[in-house]
Structure 1
Amino acid sequence: MTGGRRVVVSRRPPVLAGRGTPCPPGDLPGGPPGGPPGVPAIVGLQLRQALRTVGAVAGLLVGVPVLAARVPGLWAWVALSVAVQCAWVGLSLLQLRRAERLER
């Protein structure tokens, strides 16, 4: 042993299907009818959300050069550059929060 710190596990981790006992019905892909969604459903929801974010990024990538071509002046370019960076950070945080919310 490398002398690492021991971690206390509060409950036993679930057994994977095909290795011992089968998974409970709530853990099966698709989930039970009326129950929580399974992994494929969550992945589908996250994929749709990611595609919306990609659409917003594409809109920024196309819209910013068009807007920059029409805006004269150095300070407008500086403001536009700062605004684009803030938009990237905002989109990334929004994507992260929505993906985590869909997993709950």
Structure 2
Amino acid sequence: EAKKDIIRASRSPVDDVIIKHFKVFQVGVTTPVAESWKPQDMKLKNYEIAIKNVCNKVKKQTNGVRQYVYQMKEEMISIYQNMLDDDENEDIKEQEQINDGIEYADDKKE
């Protein structure tokens, strides 16, 4: 549990963006959309550099329009998938604790 807390605390804001939009980054997201998700306290250039560590910037043609998209590197998919799974498991545990607390409170009322 402590190890997971340390890992979660050491994640960067860019990691959080990528985890939140994991499926989209896997398929490919246009650069303007990805840039709109930039954390407010981060400069665009630093954000682009951080994204390029995880994604490739690929030129794609969609509906006759050429666009750059950020597509997650193959070797990064499993790493972020594990982070995503850990987050989902944590959310489930938190929800169970909330539900247990509600049930406990209901039992006390009766």
Settle same-fold status: TM greater than 0.5.
Answer: no
Instruction: Pick the structure with more helix per residue.
Output: 2
Is the radius of gyration larger for structure 1 or structure 2? Answer: 1
TM-score normalised by L of structure 2: 0.31
TM-score normalised by L of structure 1: 0.33
Which structure carries more relative contact order (alpha carbon 8 Å, separation 6+)? 2
